[in-house]
Amino acid sequence: MIEIDVVDRQGHHQVDSQRLVDATRHVLQTHGVTSGQVSIAVLDNDMIHELNRDFLDHDFATDVLSFVLERENGMLEGEIAVSVEMAAEQADHYGWPTAHELLLYVVHGALHLVGLDDKQPESLEQMRSAEQQACEWLGIGPPPQRPLQDPVPGDDTSS
């Protein structure tokens, strides 16, 4: 069994927590995770900036952070933090709904939790393909095209 909890710590945007849970569960199960626990924190830019600074020593707001706490033999414990404020800004830039952009961030974070990386061209291609498959499964269509060097703006991970 995979337990997924969502904590919404911002008050600016409506968030469909169940969609975030469904997206995360789909990614985890598709990549062989059969048990564990993942928490998703929905934050604003100030809160994710603080996490990024405290845990990764990056002094800027970002869109998604993921932290693997434990991963072995189909079991995963991890955390995903997303900025809905960043999602709103980027959604406007890319011309699609904030809710879709936020789902993309959660998908991206979950993919990092299961071991996908986007630092090299080959792994970036695999990440983008997995993002597209998950977004299509979610019924939101393929995500808007991103610059090659940055699949999700400001992305950081601590795996």
- Strands, sheet with 35-43, edge to edge from the N-terminal-most edge strand: 2-8, 35-43, 75-83, 64-72
Domain that holds residue 45: 2-137
Structure tokens of 132?
Answer: 């597209």
Band (151; pLDDT cuts 50, 70, 90): very low
122: CATH: 3.40.390.30
Give the whole-angstrom CA distance, residue 137 versus residue 49. 30
Could you tell me which of 10, 3, 2 has the C-alpha nearest to residue 81?
10
- For residue 38, the one-letter residue type is V
Per residue in 7-38, pLDDT (tens digit) is 999 998 999 999 999 999 999 999 999 999 99
Number of domains making up the chain:
1
Band (148; pLDDT cuts 50, 70, 90): low
- Is 97 inside any structural domain? yes
- Mean pLDDT calculated for residue range 49-67: 95
pTM, to two decimals: 0.91
User: What's the residue count for the chain?
Assistant: 159
Give the whole-angstrom CA distance, residue 112 versus residue 99. 20
- Mean pLDDT calculated for residue range 31-56: 97
Predicted pLDDT at 118:
86
Band (121; pLDDT cuts 50, 70, 90): confident
Give the whole-angstrom CA distance, residue 116 versus residue 136. 18
- Is 46 inside any structural domain? yes
The shares of helix, strand and coil residues in the chain, as percent rounded to the nearest 5, are: 45, 20, 35
Region of 71 (left: φ > 0; alpha: ψ -120 to 50; beta: rest) is: beta
Helix 17-30 with 121-137: angle, nearest 10 deg: 130
- Is 104 inside any structural domain? yes
